[in-house]
Amino acid sequence: MPADATTPPNPAQQFGTMLGRLLASRQWDRALDVSRQWLSLDPENPDPHLAAAQALINLAKYSDAETHILKVLAVRPNNSFALRLASIACQHQDKSQKADDYIQRAIELQPNDAMNWYQLALMRYRKGLLDVAEKHARRSLELQPDNADTVNLIANCQRGNPNAQLAQYLRALELNPENAIVHNNIGAYYLNTTRDYAAAEASFRRSLQLDPTTAIAQKNLFVAIRHRDLLYRILTWPPTILRRASWSRSGHAAITRIALLLLWLAIGRYMILVFGIWLVLVWPLVRAYEYLTLSDILARAGVAGARRGGLLDSHRWPLAARLAIFALVVLAFWGGIYWLYKTGVINMTYLISIVVLVLVAYYIMLIYRWSARGLARASARRAENKSRRRAKQPQPDPY
């Protein structure tokens, strides 16, 4: 018998309707609160567990999200959306094999779900398998042609074809003009490919205007400023020289690499000493300059960015006042170092030894990261080959 029009909806209907609206409007914190309220009344219901998992993943709380997802899969093992969320949660916890298994299972269940293919493409992209990632992304785009994120991912995969890459970025921008990540990537294109630093800076600022919390856009904006701001360029010249003169850069020819390696063997110790002194005496000032000039970035990022006022609301102060503070910081910092040195409080030999140890530890960490990436790429290739072999095997008729 159908319910009477005056019959109030049951709690599940109320929570379900409310969660649907909150998740659609990307109000993750509120969605999580409502999910937990629902779970307090019905702890075994997979629907609030799934909603909580979706909210937690968007809040970057992947371990907590995985807990809820496992409870969903215990009841609904063939839920494609839950499997995709599980893949995302595992991916961000460095559980590559589990993430791959989950998304492959989701694709087997829902091969026409564009977001399943997008997740697989994103996983391959992050492991450096650009050709494979682009293939999966194009499959996703076939299923959902108006997805700007997918077009953006295809553009990221086309590093060897700058013109096609820019065309894809612009196409993504047509689909979603307010996509902060696409604006950031266009800025990166201008920065790295055309060396148009003014255009790059404008794109990064536009990205921050749309989303002032985008950390990568802030970092990239400082790189663009480094090319246009004389003071910032002077403060950061030692690491810039080291990056440009590195013998291991992939852009150098073999003979150039050998020549640079021999040069490093001859003068490398002096360069490390200069960099170590810069790290101790100048790097804190670079950070202070970045902090004090951040208001200029955030002021152009709109009202949301301007609210990030810094210590004592310093980001709202006039630029002249902030630069005067920076000058005082420079005098106080270097004056304090000189005083400690003259009074014998600092032993320069000991200080330089500490700096060298820090640099050695830093390069060991870089070598470890490079080797870890190589192992991850090899693992991804093995998983891809395994998936292809499995796809070629005859499948039973489901009917």
55 versus 272: the higher-pLDDT residue is 55
The answer to which of 154-163, 171-180, 271-280, 285-294 has the lowest mean pLDDT is: 285-294
Rounded to an integer, what distance in angstroms lies between the CA atom of residue 291 and that of residue 311? 10
Amino acid letter, residue 260: L
Check whether 171 has a pLDDT greater than 90: yes
291: phi then psi, degrees, rounded to nearest 5: -65, -45
Check whether 357 has a pLDDT greater than 80: no
- Going along the chain from its start, the domains and CATH numbers come out as 16-111 (1.25.40.10)
CA 358 to the chain's CA centroid: 26
Rounded to an integer, what distance in angstroms lies between the CA atom of residue 324 and that of residue 270? 33
The answer to which of 53-67, 147-161, 234-248, 333-347 has the lowest mean pLDDT is: 234-248
pLDDT tens sequence across 17-51: 888 888 888 888 888 898 899 888 888 899 989 99
107 versus 373: the higher-pLDDT residue is 107
Contact between 124 and 132 (Cβ < 8 Å):
yes
Six-digit token string for 372:
């870890």
Check whether 269 has a pLDDT greater than 80: no
Q: In terms of Cα–Cα distance, which of 380, 336, 395 is closest to 136?
A: 380
**Whole-prediction pTM:** 0.64
CA distances from 9 to 2, 18, 32, 40, 196 (A): 12, 12, 21, 18, 59
DSSP state letter for 9: P
pLDDT tens sequence across 223-261: 887 777 676 667 676 666 666 655 445 555 667 666 766
Rounded to an integer, what distance in angstroms lies between the CA atom of residue 231 and that of residue 110? 55
**What average pLDDT does this structure show over 366-373?**
66
pLDDT at position 397 is: 35
Q: In terms of Cα–Cα distance, which of 150, 157, 133, 107 is closest to 381?
A: 133
Contact between 47 and 16 (Cβ < 8 Å):
yes
Check whether 375 has a pLDDT greater than 90: no
User: DSSP 3-state helix, strand, coil percentages of the chain (rounded to 5)?
Assistant: 80, 0, 20
Other Cβ atoms closer than 10 A to 275: 18
pLDDT at position 260 is: 63
**CA-based angle 91:94:95, to the nearest 5?**
75
Name the 3-class secondary structure at 269.
Answer: helix
* Residue whose entry in the numeric block shows the structure tokens 């702890």: 43
The answer to which of 269-273, 285-289, 378-382 has the lowest mean pLDDT is: 378-382
Q: In terms of Cα–Cα distance, which of 86, 116, 80 is closest to 98?
A: 86
Check whether 186 has a pLDDT greater than 90: yes
pLDDT at position 297 is: 54
Rounded to an integer, what distance in angstroms lies between the CA atom of residue 353 and that of residue 280? 12
* Burial of 133 per CB tally in 10 Å (0-12, 13-18, 19+): buried
Rounded to an integer, what distance in angstroms lies between the CA atom of residue 185 and that of residue 152? 8
130 versus 332: the higher-pLDDT residue is 130
Average pLDDT of the chain?
Answer: 76
Q: In terms of Cα–Cα distance, which of 70, 28, 30, 79 is closest to 49?
A: 70
